A and B are shown apart, each in its own frame.
Chain A
């Protein structure tokens, strides 16, 4: 059984992983912090905090165009991180890694630079009902500008994409692009992206994968996936906020017009006309988040060295333990019961509203999230205003899962 094997992960290994995250050792009031809001953002290991500090203490300068030592160091740190990220997700070349502010900006970039010029009136942008607002609103904006339509593939009651419906939409609608989430941040559903990508490919439809959650939960190989674009955020991968990644196929990145104009993305500027650099610089106008890139590179290097498969099995065991514990509490309803799930337990209590649960748990030092998790259409699909959500990461412990369950049981008793 997976559960037993996962529980067998050496306690020293877990302790070492957890020990790498200084923030986790603190108390909230009288209670040790139990951080279960990892889908919103993960904590940062010393390796990342130190890399960012070292960069500012020793190497800080503006990148490119600099002839002095610091600028050359900062430039190599920046470009080295790009290569590290490229290797991490299996991108054939570092020039296929565009640094953005996060998943949101990466999707907006694809919406405006890739989709907008090719969309025609009546074209369909195919999404799913379980998308994060970041993978809905940019498409609505380009749809409004072009006369295209945004159509979501339905999800089932258990929280899985209805694959039949997805295929049928690809077949019967003039789909110009399909964009979907790999792992749902609100339900934890792991979508069968290989199958979905193959279906889109068969229909000749370019694809974008929202890997914001998946990048810390699954090995990512963009060549094996054969997606056209993939987006994720550094802060959900143990890295800093304000930095993210867009991976794109070469043929697309080379053909796409700039997203924003400014310094660093140009080949030559004159008032008669300006020429642009190739990718990735073409899409990185202005002084970028250099420290963020350095921190992201450090996060990826740190994470790649961890026993990831075993840590993911441990995380699965945490999710199962929490799910089983919650299911024994009267009045609990788990929202999202897909067969393949990762990290997340979303739930409702008959007697207590998610916000009341959140406030109660916070008073015991337990951080969860309450609300629609930026997935309002999905909540509407289930006829609920929101859920309470506990989301686990590699550094959480079984004791934490148990403390969480016991606290929810107390909330249920308090309000009943």
Chain B
């Protein structure tokens, strides 16, 4: 598979075209906006946390295929996780994106492994991490994060 097709593989395209949990969550307990001033992309992540577990995660906003698919995959991966588990998942994704993860370790992040095609496109890594940073900010109680701050 060439780099481009690894980047835009089926899973990514599918989540881009039919993003899961793509809606606002009026009853959310946590929310934050992630902003990438380089491209103007903006993603809002909503969480409902009950008893230390993420009961629901949703997102809204405009973005490229990579950031949208990453956000959609994130909502599926984090639903039902405890906050500390969710942070670990993000750490795994970061490693996959920056090329630090051993290929074998990919199993643990499941479908999220589809994001690792991004590692060959350094200019696009921030697209993939944007929704995750918004998630982290929401949990930390920060209203807004920027990729460039």
List residues of A whose CB falls within 8 A of some B CB.
352-356, 359-360, 363, 370-372, 376, 379, 384-386, 414-415
Contacts and interface: CB of A to CB of B under 8 A. Distances in A.
A415 B12 CA distance: 11
A359 B13 contact: no
Interface stretch (B18-26, B57-65, B70-78, B97-105): B57-65
Contacts of B16: 415
Contacts of A352: 65
Contacts of A379: 40
A337 to B, nearest CB: 21
Interface string B94-125: 00000000000000000000000000010110
Given A354-B39, A371-B39, A414 B62 contact: no
A376 B42 CA distance: 14
B32 interface: no
B94 to A, nearest CB: 20
Contacts of B123: 359
A414 B16 CA distance: 12
Contacts of A355: 39, 64, 66, 124, 127
Contacts of A372: 39-40
Given A363-B3, A415-B13, A385 B39 contact: yes
Contacts of A386: 39-40
Contact of A353 (B7, B13, B65, B121): B65
A356 B3 contact: no
Given A355-B124, A371-B40, A372-B40, A415 B65 contact: yes
Interface range on chain B: under 10, 10 to 19, 20 to 34, or 35 or more? 20 to 34
A370 B38 CA distance: 9
A176 to B, nearest CB: 30
B8 A414 contact: yes
Interface in B24-72: 38-42, 62-66
B4 interface: yes
A353 B38 contact: no
Nearest to A384: B40
Interface in B121-138: 121, 123-124, 127
Interface of B: 2-4, 7-8, 13, 16, 38-42, 62-66, 121, 123-124, 127
Question: Which of the listed residues A353, A354, A415 has the most CB atoms from chain B within 10 Å of its own CB?
Answer: A353
B39 A356 contact: no
Pick the 9 closest A-B CB pairs, nearest first.
A385-B40, A353-B64, A355-B64, A363-B4, A386-B40, A356-B65, A356-B64, A371-B39, A372-B40
Contacts, number: 47
B42 A385 contact: yes
B11 to A, nearest CB: 15
A353 B63 CA distance: 7
Contacts of B2: 363
B38 to A, nearest CB: 6
A37 B130 CA distance: 26
Given A359-B124, A385-B41, 12 more contacts: A353-B39, A353-B63, A354-B64, A356-B64, A356-B65, A356-B66, A371-B39, A371-B40, A372-B40, A385-B62, A415-B13, A415-B65
A353 B42 CA distance: 13
10 contacts: A354-B39, A355-B127, A356-B65, A359-B123, A359-B124, A360-B4, A363-B3, A371-B38, A372-B40, A376-B40
A18 B2 CA distance: 31
B13 A370 contact: no
A359 B39 contact: no
A62 B40 CA distance: 44
Contacts of A370: 39
Contacts of B66: 355-356
A114 B9 CA distance: 55
A372 B127 CA distance: 15
A363 B41 CA distance: 22
Contacts of B40: 371-372, 376, 379, 384-386
B114 to A, nearest CB: 15
A359 B4 contact: yes
